[in-house]
Structure 1
């Protein structure tokens, strides 16, 4: 039977299409517009279109229900939070027609709301940044004598629905504050936007790592780790270049946290390895597929196909992955990193040398065996470029 993969313009969705297709699973691709990146893959046999969830969650869900009534899909996968969360929220309704291989909303919201995530982590004794939980802006004044800068002001959720439309708020350079005036300003901006106070956290200096897992009621079926080597924006954003690693000090905290949640399905637990004390400090959990998914697959862990096997009731074989494997999001992610780094770097030659190292690398999109998605990548770049010129997006690709 066929699997429907949503968010066809995203790299993670392309990785899902390729993983399932290579393993003999028929795949259709969905997106809110025609000509998505993944639709160009040789493994995608058909495309469907649905309402943009950024315009209306209800219209998106209604369209998915309509699509499911017209096609016999065994399973529906997604990669963006704005699509995964409605699938989780409406899981019981949608599963009358298909399998939704993500946790239901009661479990999912423990990762969506960072205050819930950090409270659980603190209860089980995981290292976390010092975190302040406030209910109203008035409470900021009582913290003035306790705070040490720099601090990070984090929205409790990346995606918050205001009525029928999602408000998406990521941590950017403006969320890092060095004094009370900056803290007050960004806190009030977030509160006014979504009506919920953000988290105020200690800044953790150190490299970023991801621990990815497939779980069955909290029991680890597969585990993978990676280290971020480059990201865009360079002040903190999506990874454009990363490497598979094995850090034993990261494994147990991730395993303990996922076990405490009794997590089902895939998840990525993000840490920073604190330069000051060497401890891995929790950053967040993503209860969905992650942008650097192509790296895990290149290193030997076929998470999409394994998730498919698990929800079909099949045995997921134990697989080891290769360390030192790299994967690169060249178009446009690493290209934007290069332009930004060249502008801000004190050693432009070093930046050029880093970017120019093409030997023995894997790519998120470029593939000799499945070359046509690069056409979709170029189309995406052109469309986003037009949106930037119109003022509808910033250079990071975020909708303004």
Structure 2
């Protein structure tokens, strides 16, 4: 009996992560997958989703052994086939307990701890790519407020400074002059990477890999953005590019990557090359967009982890708007609200309509926070 005709029980082990919404959206498209969720946060709006069979609140204990005991009980009682972490912290937590947790063999395929930690750390990844001759920006490491004046003067400006670990464009700075960078260096004790600014444009590649080989991928480029600088795009267009894919193949092979990853790249218009910026070793915000163009990474990840062979998948080259992107788009073109094919196939709107309670709760929570901030100021 093939996996498509067999009922499969999946346990998401880090349901407190914001990407739970997109992952559950993708899993809801597979009728034979039953979704269970464990979360350290009991107030997650998605706990009320009609697509989650059971939601378990397991608090964060001082002793991780107690947490795993609770997890083991859920796995046994509900006959869980596969445990799937969706965030980098969730993956790292399971990898760090690989040798002490008896049910680790039930997890989805994962990269080794050594290569995973190297891949998601911008500083270590930069050094790794230099070793393996993988195209990337010129990179300097800033640690404990130390980088020699000579190094600063040798940099080309403008330059970008970003935390060695971080998400959603948080903590990123761009400096136009050496004096600005020098002032910043003196105020921080964290580890940062300093990279040359590349003339060109951002472009991303999402992949599912096994033992360093890419099984499925999509390539996407931002088309709509919020006003916040360095924020993820709220509108994207899917495309094919073999030159970019060759760079990503070399990168994933060098890390012997297994599992999912979202690779940020930048096209260098001065050299006509694609350069790797960083790896997000987890699900990503536009994973639901990939599903709408033909590549359901969540479903594929489960099938590959359970031993199924997956053939190459061709995806559609079309655009996608997040809910924020849709609102912005409709303000410019109000009649778009009547294009039901577009709304269904290129936005997450219909999913939100079918599963409204989590959306309503997120709106209420957000409104409460905004009102509290206004009245406290």
TM-score (structure 1 length as normaliser): 0.78
Any gaps of 5 or more consecutive residues in structure 1?
A: 159-168, 339-349, 393-400
For residues 314-363 of structure 1, what are the alpha-carbon distances to aligned partners after superposition, in whole Å with 9 as ceiling and x for unaligned?
22232211111x33221xx4379x4xxxxxxxxxxx99427875541446
Who is 1:328 aligned against? Answer: 321
Identify the match of residue 243 of structure 2 among 249, 266, 285.
249
Structural mapping, 1:171-250, within 5 Å? 171-172=169-170, 175-191=173-189, 194=190, 197-232=191-226, 234-250=228-244
Q: Summarize the Cα distance change of 1:386–1:132 in structure 2 as closer, same or farther, 3 Å threshold.
A: same
Aligned residue among 304, 308, 325 for 1:310:
304
Q: 1:1-400 residue pairs with structure 2 within 5 A?
A: 1-8=8-15, 12-23=19-30, 24-34=32-42, 36-51=44-59, 62-72=66-76, 73-96=80-103, 99-101=106-108, 102-158=110-166, 171-172=169-170, 175-191=173-189, 194=190, 197-232=191-226, 234-324=228-318, 326-330=319-323, 333-334=324-325, 338=328, 352-353=331-332, 357-358=336-337, 359=339, 360-361=342-343, 362=345, 365-367=348-350, 371-388=353-370, 390=372
Task: Provide Cα deviations, 1:275-318, integer angstroms capped at 9, x if missing partner.
Answer: 33332121101111111100111111121111111111122232
Distance 1:85 1:232, change over 3 A: farther
Does 308-317 or 182-191 show the bigger shift? 182-191
Give yes or no for contact 2:159–2:174 (8 Å, CA) kept in 1.
yes
Seen in structure 2, the aligned counterparts of structure 1 residues 147 and 107 have a Cα distance that, compared at 3 Å, is closer
User: How far apart, CA to CA, are the structure 1 residues paired with 2:148 and 2:333?
Assistant: 43
SS at match of 1:226: strand
Distance across 2 between alignment mates of 1:93 and 1:113: 25
Deviations 1:78-134 (A, max 9, x none): 333333322332234345265222223212101122122112222232221111124
Q: Which runs of 5+ in 2 are unaligned?
A: 1-7
TM-score, normalized by length of structure 2? 0.83
Whole-Å Cα distance in 2 between the matches of residues 37 and 356 of structure 1? 31
Which residue matches 1:342? none
Partner of 1:163: none
Instruction: Verify the 8 A CA contact 2:11 2:83 in the aligned structure 1.
Output: yes
1:27/1:43 contact within 8 Å kept:
yes
Alpha-carbon spacing, 1:100–1:186, altered in 2? closer, same or farther (3 Å): farther
Q: CA deviation at 1:216?
A: 1.1
Moved more, 122-131 or 59-68: 59-68
Query: 1:95–1:366: structure 2 CA closer, same or farther, 3 Å change rule?
Result: farther
**Cα distance, 1:256–1:144 mapped onto 2, change above 3 Å:** closer
Q: How many residues align?
A: 358
Indicate conservation of the 8 Å contact 2:152/2:182, yes or no: no
Mapped contact 1:103–1:263 kept (Cα < 8 A): yes
Distance 1:202 1:78 in 2: 34
Deviation, structure 1 residue 137: 2.7
Distance change (3 Å), C-alpha of 1:76 and 1:247: same
Change (3 A) 1:303 1:95: farther
Contact 1:365 1:373 (C-alpha < 8 Å) held by counterparts: no
Taking a change above 3 Å as real, the CA distance of residues 238 and 183 of structure 1, as seen in their structure-2 partners, is same
Contact 2:236 2:320 (8 Å CA) reproduced: yes
Alignment check: 8 A CA contact 2:20 2:46 kept:
yes
Supply the distance in 1 between the matched residues of 2:333 and 2:301 (Cα, whole angstroms): 35
